[in-house]
């Protein structure tokens, strides 16, 4: 049986009277790529900051590699790479100096790995951090998070600022780290990127864990946002049928209709095929939209 890497028990955090997270429990096994999803403000960052001992819990406990997150944080941090949503570094430093400073905490020579990662991400080590674009700063964050070959990689909405090609490279890197044996804890509010990468997900809403499931199960529940325009306004019958089949948030305005669909795509397309369509778009809904209608 695989070892448990992260173990969270009844973890609760209040900021004064404001809720951060309430009574969250779950665990992550070694070698998993674990997705942590939920809309903004659901408590994803709060959970991650608790795990990293940046904040302290109101109650409950958390362990990483069997060690207590709040009393043994430095020992845990030795094996953890963290990439926050937004990266900030000391002004006036060159990329290479910052990365050397970051590496100096781990007591090993990270320079070969730093060079390797910088090459993969097309990051110029000799530039000043102040002069870097948002995306390039993000790359510095990735390099410093991975340079010491951590056993656990914690990512808090990491893809913002990276262009699609770079996102691909980044995901490849994460998969390679995972194959090497690293466990990945990946928080996001973008369902599709979690779907691409993760084996298992926890879904968070308003500070509570509402679902914990395998990616394969979640994928079976494929959500689509559908918008259609018909030539004739008599689509009501077909739309009723689609609601029966699993559509939500149906909005109809004369010839236009939009809804979120969860279910068999072929069945829906068969019904829509009977309509005189002028336009049809099927796209990924925002996680917010899914939450609004499926996880009340």
The residues binding other proteins (CB under 8 A) are: 15, 45, 49, 52-56, 73-78, 80, 82, 84-92, 101-102, 104-106, 144
Angle at 293 between CA 224 and CA 214, to 5 degrees: 65
Residue 152 or 198 with smaller CB distance to other proteins? 152
Nearer to other proteins, 104 or 281 (CB): 104
Task: Evaluate whether 11 touches 62 at the Cβ level (below 8 Å).
Answer: yes
Q: Which is nearer to other proteins, 87 or 290 (CB)?
A: 87
CB of 51 to other proteins, least distance (A): 10
Helix, strand, coil shares, percent, the chain, to 5: 35, 30, 30
**How far apart are CB 47 and other proteins at their closest, in Å?**
12
Least distance in Å: CB of 203 to other proteins?
Answer: 20
Nearer to other proteins, 49 or 225 (CB): 49
User: Least distance to other proteins from the beta carbon of 129, Å?
Assistant: 11
Residue 11's contacts (CB-CB under 8 Å, 6 or more residues apart) are: 21, 23, 24, 25, 47, 50, 57, 59, 60, 61, 62
**Nearer Cβ to other proteins, position 12 or 255?**
12
* 49/55 Cα distance (integer angstroms): 6
Q: Which of 234, 280, 227, 278 is nearest to 254 (CA)?
A: 234
Q: Smallest distance, Å, CB 55 to other proteins?
A: 4
Nearer of residues 67 and 225 to other proteins, judged by Cβ: 67
Q: Report the distance separating Cα 246 and Cα 233, nearest Å.
A: 22
Min dist. Cβ of residue 82 to other proteins (A): 5
Question: Closest approach of Cβ 247 to other proteins, in Å?
Answer: 36
Distance between CA atoms of 116 and 137, rounded to whole angstroms? 17
Burial of 204 (0-12, 13-18, 19+ CB in 10 A): buried
Residue number, 154 or 260, with CB nearest to other proteins = 154
User: What phi, psi does 252 have (nearest 5°)?
Assistant: -120, 130
CB nearer other proteins, residue 108 or residue 231: 108
Smallest separation (angstroms) from other proteins to the CB of 1: 28
- Phi first, then psi, for residue 180 (nearest 5°) are -65, -20
Q: Residue 161 CB: number of other CB atoms within 10 A? A: 18
Residue 105 Rama label (left phi>0; alpha psi -120 to 50; beta): alpha
- Work out the widest C-alpha separation in the chain, in whole angstroms: 71
Strand 200-205 with 4-15, pairing: unpaired
């Amino acid at each position: 049986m695989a070892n448990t890497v992260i173990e969270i028990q009844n973890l609760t955090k209040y900021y004064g009277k404001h809720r951060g997270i309430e009574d969250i429990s779950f665990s992550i096994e070694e070698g998993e790529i674990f997705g942590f999803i939920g809309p903004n403000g659901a408590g994803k960052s709060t959970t991650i900051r608790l795990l990293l001992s940046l904040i302290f819990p109101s109650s409950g406990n958390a362990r990483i590699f069997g060690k207590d997150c709040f009393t043994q944080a430095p020992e845990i941090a030795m094996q953890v790479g963290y990439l926050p949503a937004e990266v900030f570094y000391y002004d006036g430093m060159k990329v290479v100096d910052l990365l050397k400073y970051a590496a100096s905490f781990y007591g090993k020579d990270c320079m070969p790995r730093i060079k390797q990662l910088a090459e993969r991400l097309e990051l110029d080590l000799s530039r000043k951090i102040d002069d870097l674009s948002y995306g390039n700063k993000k790359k510095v964050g990735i390099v410093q998070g991975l340079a010491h070959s951590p056993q656990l990689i914690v990512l808090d909405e990491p893809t913002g600022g990276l262009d699609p090609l770079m996102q691909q490279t980044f995901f490849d890197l994460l998969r390679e780290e995972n194959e090497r044996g690293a466990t990945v804890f990946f928080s996001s509010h973008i369902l599709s990127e979690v779907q691409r990468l993760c084996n298992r997900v926890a879904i968070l809403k308003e500070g509570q864990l509402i679902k914990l499931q395998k990616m394969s199960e979640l994928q079976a529940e494929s959500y689509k946002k559908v918008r259609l325009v018909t030539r004739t306004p008599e689509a009501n019958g077909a739309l009723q049928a689609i609601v029966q089949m699993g559509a939500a948030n149906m909005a109809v305005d004369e010839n236009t209709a939009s809804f979120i669909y969860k279910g068999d795509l072929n069945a829906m397309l068969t019904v829509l095929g009977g309509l005189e369509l002028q336009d049809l778009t099927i796209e990924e809904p925002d996680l917010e939209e899914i939450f609004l209608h499926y996880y009340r």
